[in-house]
Amino acid sequence: MEKINNVTEFIFWGLSQNPVVAKVCFVVFSFFYTGILLGNLLIMLTVSTGNLFKSPMYFFLNYLSFVDICYTSVTAPKMIADLLAKTKTISYVGCVLQLFGSHFFGCAEIFILTLMAYDRYVAICKPLHYMTIMDRNRCNNMLLGTWIGGFLHSIIQMAMVVQLPFCGPNVIDHYFCDVHPLLKLACTDTYVVGVVVVANSGAITLGSFVTLLISYTVILMSLRKQSAEGRCKALSTCGSHIAVVIIFFGPCTFMYMRPNTTFSEDKMVAVFYTIITPMLNPLIYTLRNAEVKNAMKKLWGRKFSCRLIASS
C-alpha cells in the first residue's frame, strides 16, 4: 500500500496549557538549562586543563559532559521557547531530526556510563594491569564504539517512524518528538513497529544495565579484600557513578522497556532524564570526587592569580 502523509508539521501539547504555570516553568527550566551548560562546560574545562585527561576515568567523564550538553540541547531550547508560545509547532523534518538526536545522544550516554563502570572494574579488580588494559588507543576505540552504537540505534528508531503514514491529527501529547507519541498518531497498525522499537531500546537498556550490575557486584565483592582506606577511595569514585546510573536508567527503563503505550506521567518522567539528570551529573561528580574538586580549585586559583597580575 502506498504511504500517505498529509502531515507537514506537528503541534506539541507541551508541559502545561496554564499560562501562569507555563511562565513559572519557563523561568525554572531556563535556569536548569543554564546550569547544565555551565556545569558540564566547567567539568570539560577542568578535565582538559587540570591534567586529568590522561586518566581513562576523566577521559570518559569529559565526553559524558559533552553528551549531556548535546542531549539536553536537542529538546530543552525548543521546550523552553514553546512555554511562552501560543502554538507549539515543529516541522515534520524537524520532528524526525529531534527524534534522531535525542536517541543518538541518549544511547551514547548509556554506553559511556557502561564504559565508565568497566573502567572502575579494571581499576579496582586489576590495578596492576590498569594502564595497559585502558590505554589511550583502547579508550578511543571504545568511545568510537559508543558513537557507532548510538548512530545505529537512532537510525533504526528513525527508520521505524519515517516509513509510517501520518494523515492527521497532528497534535503530539508531549513536549518533544519521541517514538511512542508518534506511533500513536500514525494512521496504520503500529504493533509490529512498536515491538521492534521496544526490542531495540530494551536490548540496549537492559544489556547495559545488566553489564553495570555485574561490574559493580564484582567490584563490591573485591573491595572486601582491600584496606579500609582503599575501600573508602573506591566507594567514593564508584558512588558518584552509581548515583548517576540510578537516576538515568530508572526513568529510561520506565519509558522504553514497555509496550507501545503512553501514560500521563510520561512528560514528567521525560523531564527527569532529559533535563534533571544532565543538571545533576556535574554536581554529583564534583561534590563526591576529590580529584575534580582539587583540579577546580587549582583552575580558579590560576585565574585569580592571572587577574591579580593583570590588574597590578
- Beta strand spans in 101-185 (E): 171-172
Section 37-55 average pLDDT? 84
Region of poorest pLDDT, from 26-30, 83-87, 132-136, 240-244: 240-244
Identify the pLDDT of residue 247: 77
Nearest to 46 by CA among 305, 294, 306, 304: 294
Section 111-138 average pLDDT? 88
Is 104 a residue whose pLDDT tops 90? yes
233 — pLDDT class (breaks 50, 70, 90)? low
- Beta strand spans in the chain (E): 9-12, 89-91, 171-172
Identify the pLDDT of residue 304: 47
Pairwise CA distance, residues 242 & 120, whole Å:
11
Pairwise CA distance, residues 225 & 174, whole Å:
50
Q: Are 281 and 112 in contact (CB under 8 A)?
A: no
Q: Which three cell numbers stand for residue 203?
A: 536490548
Sign of CA dihedral 266, 157, 116, 31: negative
Do the domain assignments include residue 3? no
Do the domain assignments include residue 4? no
Burial 74-99 (b: 16+ CB within 10 A, else e): bbbebbbebbeeeebebebeebbebb
201 — pLDDT class (breaks 50, 70, 90)? confident
Do the domain assignments include residue 155? yes
Identify the pLDDT of residue 81: 93
Do the domain assignments include residue 312? no
Q: What is the total count of domains within the chain?
A: 1
Identify the pLDDT of residue 263: 62
Could you list the residue range(s) of the whole structural domain that residue 187 is in? 9-306
When the pLDDT of each residue in the chain is averaged and rounded to a whole number, the result is: 83
Q: Which three cell numbers stand for residue 95?
A: 520532528
229 — pLDDT class (breaks 50, 70, 90)? low
Pairwise CA distance, residues 251 & 242, whole Å:
15
For the ranges 19-33, 192-206, 235-249, the one whose mean pLDDT is highest? 19-33
Q: Which three cell numbers stand for residue 194?
A: 512498536
Identify the pLDDT of residue 42: 87
Domain containing 16 — which CATH number? 1.20.1070.10
Is 236 a residue whose pLDDT tops 70? no
Do the domain assignments include residue 89? yes
Do the domain assignments include residue 243? yes
Is 285 a residue whose pLDDT tops 90? no
Do the domain assignments include residue 2? no
Do the domain assignments include residue 300? yes
For 270, counting Cβ atoms within 10 Å of its Cβ (0-12 exposed, 13-18 middle, 19+ buried), the class is buried
Identify the pLDDT of residue 1: 44
Is 2 a residue whose pLDDT tops 60? no
Q: Are 299 and 229 in contact (CB under 8 A)?
A: no
Give the predicted TM-score (pTM) of the model: 0.86
Is 312 a residue whose pLDDT tops 80? no
Cα dist. 206→67, 114, 214, 218, 260 in Å?
A: 20, 11, 12, 18, 17
Output the DSSP codes for 218-271. HHHHHGGGS-HHHHHHHHHHHHHHHHHHHHHHHHHHHHHSS-S---TTHHHHHH
Identify the pLDDT of residue 177: 92
